[in-house]
């Protein structure tokens, strides 16, 4: 694996950086600027890499092939009451956020058989680098997590592929643009909305986006909205915060969901994935009402739970995948992408896992059931936390995961105000769309990709948390 930086002429870097910013602005790769915690009404280009980052083509193709199987896996897990209750039984004793989600999941079960489930997933991977005795390097994709709610980067990923194609051309490397895979995630995901909306069967029913006004990535959501309008100008998309919904949402006796007297066909959550979102108790009432309705939920609370970190650990156990997937080859391929998981339940396996983590904390990541970046625990902080918890059930709120070590490659990160040379580690996300009603699958496909990179000095990464930049894959 090589960095494209080696092909850059040094004297061109400044002008390419400038072009990259301008390209981002002209292609709408933008986010809101922040003023402290609050986003302002001024905009800046999203931080991005100057050059795309190399990843193995066969790995990329494999992950694209696997995505529909992962979509179906998440769907089937979400329908399997017994599996879900066994997975979460100890987490919900100690993690109030997961318990509240789980309680709503149980309460909403009555609707699951009739309602269409709509998932927009993003399965994230890093390529672990293994060197054999002869010094040959192998790059194996390892799953970091499966996002099943508010999977972001839908527009930014596809837009940045186009920016990188132009940058390579400006850098006199046009022939290399053939290594950039096409990225149509925005239109492929919009197609999912269109199909779901038609399935609902009322041409006057709206698509409701529930959003968090404190997030700067408004354009990623707006782009989905505009792409839906492109498919059918008669669809109405409304954006509401949870505050606005407290007063305006209503459920009819036959389970129809209304907002300001308009019937809702689809509820698209860009909110509610993390405990911090529920700043008011009434937000939970809104969530329950939505979940008890006949509206198509993107996602249902069952999908959200199936995407929890705990489920990664549970699905990595022997025979867990076989419960849902008949094809042994697919099972093996998915299992090969799993890192090591070590359960922290109150048993001897849990005790062993704690001992391993305390002895070699740098080999692991401790993950709580949270989303959105910045929640994981690394290194000496693992020792501090596990020592403080001691032999207590509170450890069941976390999973212990093997730390993946990709090979860092040179790149240049471009922000609105500067640029810096970094040793970058990349994370590839593959989008997936599924529409299914019980065992009846209506749509199930891979919906292209998103790549993010971070400096190898940072453990966590996320565009939102400011540690990662947008990138795009360069297939080799």
Residues binding Mg ion (CB under 5 A): 145, 147, 371
Residue 365 engages ligand ADP in binding (rule: CB under 6 A) = yes
Choose the one of ligand ADP, Mg ion, none that binds residue 54, judging by a C-beta under 5 to 8 angstroms depending on kind.
none
- Cβ proximity to ligand ADP: between 73 and 264 the closer is 73
Near ligand ADP by CB under 6 A: residue from 108, 375, 446, 472: 375
Residue 371 engages ligand ADP in binding (rule: CB under 6 A) = yes
Choose the one of Mg ion, ligand ADP, none that binds residue 92, judging by a C-beta under 5 to 8 angstroms depending on kind.
none
Residue 95 engages ligand ADP in binding (rule: CB under 6 A) = no
Choose the one of ligand ADP, Mg ion, none that binds residue 427, judging by a C-beta under 5 to 8 angstroms depending on kind.
ligand ADP
- Cβ proximity to ligand ADP: between 4 and 467 the closer is 467
Binders in 313-342 for ligand ADP, by CB under 6 A:
339
Q: Measured from the CB of residue 150, what is the shortest distance to Mg ion in angstroms?
A: 9
Residue range at the interface with ligand ADP (CB under 6 A); choices 14-22, 175-183, 226-234, 365-373? 365-373
Near ligand ADP by CB under 6 A: residue from 16, 101, 298, 404: 404
Give the count of residues interacting with ligand ADP (CB under 6 A): 18
Residue 430 engages ligand ADP in binding (rule: CB under 6 A) = no
- Cβ proximity to Mg ion: between 145 and 277 the closer is 145
Q: Measured from the CB of residue 14, what is the shortest distance to ligand ADP in angstroms?
A: 29
| Residue 127, CB-side half-sphere exposure with 13 Å CA sphere | 29
Compute CA distances 384 → 150, 219, 377, 387, whole Å: 32, 39, 10, 5
Choose the one of Mg ion, ligand ADP, none that binds residue 159, judging by a C-beta under 5 to 8 angstroms depending on kind.
none
Binders in 110-149 for ligand ADP, by CB under 6 A:
124, 144-145
Q: Measured from the CB of residue 13, what is the shortest distance to ligand ADP in angstroms?
A: 26
Residue 379 engages ligand ADP in binding (rule: CB under 6 A) = no
Q: Measured from the CB of residue 427, what is the shortest distance to ligand ADP in angstroms?
A: 5
- Cβ proximity to ligand ADP: between 294 and 403 the closer is 403
Choose the one of ligand ADP, Mg ion, none that binds residue 403, judging by a C-beta under 5 to 8 angstroms depending on kind.
ligand ADP
Near ligand ADP by CB under 6 A: residue from 28, 56, 255, 372: 372
Near ligand ADP by CB under 6 A: residue from 17, 160, 399, 401: 401
Q: Measured from the CB of residue 225, what is the shortest distance to Mg ion in angstroms?
A: 22
Task: Tell me the three-class secondary structure of the chain, residue by residue.
Answer: CCCHHHHCCHHHHHHHHHHHHHHHHHCCCEEEEEECCEEEEEEEECCEECCCEEECHHHHHHHHHHHHHHHHHHHHHHHCHHHHHHHHCCHHHHCHHHHHHHHHHHHCHHHCCCCCEEEEEEEEEEEEEEECCCCCEEEEEEEEEEECCCCCCHHHHHHHHHHHHHHHHHCCCHHHHHHCCCCCHHHHHHHHHHHHHHHHCCCCCEEEEEECCCCCCHHHHHHHHHHHHHHCCCCCEEEEEHHHHHHHEEECCCCCEEECCEEEEEEEEECCCCHHHCCCHHHHHHHHHHHCCCCEEECCHHHHHHCCHHHHHHHCCCCHHHHHCCCHHHHHHHHHCCCCEECCCCCHHHHHHHHHHHHCHHHEEEEECCCCCCCCEEHHHHHHHHHHHCCCHHHHHEEEEECCCECCEEEEEECCCCEEEEEEEEEEEEEEEEEEECCEEEEEEEEEEEEEEEECCCCCCCCCCCCEEEECEEEC
* Interface contacts to ligand ADP, rule CB under 6 A: 124, 144-145, 339, 365, 367, 371-373, 375-376, 401, 403-404, 427, 460-462
């Amino acid at each position: 694996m090589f960095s494209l930086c080696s092909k850059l002429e040094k004297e061109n870097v400044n002008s390419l950086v400038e072009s990259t910013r301008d390209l981002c602005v002209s292609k709408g790769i933008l986010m809101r600027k922040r003023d402290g915690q609050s986003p302002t009404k001024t905009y800046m280009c999203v931080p991005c890499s100057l050059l795309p980052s190399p990843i193995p083509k066969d790995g990329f193709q494999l992950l694209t092939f696997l995505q529909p199987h992962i979509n179906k896996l998440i769907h089937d897990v979400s329908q399997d009451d017994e599996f879900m209750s066994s997975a979460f039984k100890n987490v919900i004793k100690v993690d109030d956020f997961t318990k509240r989600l789980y309680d709503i999941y149980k309460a909403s079960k009555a609707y699951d058989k009739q309602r269409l489930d709509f998932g927009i997933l993003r399965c994230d991977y890093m390529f672990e680098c293994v060197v054999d005795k002869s010094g040959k390097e192998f790059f194996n994709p390892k799953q970091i997590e499966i996002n099943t709610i508010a999977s972001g980067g839908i527009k930014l990923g596809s837009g940045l592929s186009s920016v990188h194609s132009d940058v390579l051309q400006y850098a006199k490397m046009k022939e290399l643009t053939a290594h950039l895979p096409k990225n149509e995630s925005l239109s492929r995901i919009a197609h999912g909305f269109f199909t779901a909306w038609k399935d609902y069967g009322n041409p006057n029913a709206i698509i409701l986006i529930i959003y968090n006004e404190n997030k700067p990535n408004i354009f990623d959501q707006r782009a989905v909205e505009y792409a839906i309008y492109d498919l059918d100008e008669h669809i109405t998309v409304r954006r509401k915060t949870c505050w606005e919904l407290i007063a305006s949402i209503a459920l009819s006796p036959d389970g129809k969901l209304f907002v300001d007297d308009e019937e809702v066909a689809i509820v698209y959550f860009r909110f509610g994935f993390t405990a911090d979102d529920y700043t008011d108790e009434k937000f939970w009432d809104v969530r329950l009402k939505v979940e008890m309705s006949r509206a198509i939920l993107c996602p249902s609370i069952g999908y959200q739970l199936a995407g929890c970190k705990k489920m990664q650990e549970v699905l990595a156990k022997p025979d867990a995948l076989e419960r849902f997937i008949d094809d042994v080859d697919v099972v093996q391929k998915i299992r090969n992408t799993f890192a090591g998981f070590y359960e922290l339940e109150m048993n001897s396996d849990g005790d062993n896992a704690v001992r391993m983590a305390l002895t070699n904390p740098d080999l692991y990541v401790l993950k709580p059931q949270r989303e959105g970046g910045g929640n994981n625990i690394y290194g000496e902080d693992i020792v501090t936390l596990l020592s403080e918890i001691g032999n207590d059930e509170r450890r069941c709120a976390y999973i212990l995961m093997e730390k993946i070590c990709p090979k860092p490659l040179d790149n240049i990160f471009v922000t609105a105000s500067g640029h810096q040379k970094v040793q970058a580690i990349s994370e590839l996300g593959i989008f997936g769309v599924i529409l299914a009603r019980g065992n009846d699958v209506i749509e199930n496909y891979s919906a292209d990709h998103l790549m993010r990179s971070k400096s190898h000095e940072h453990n966590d990464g996320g565009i939102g948390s400011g540690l990662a930049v947008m990138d795009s894959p360069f297939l080799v």
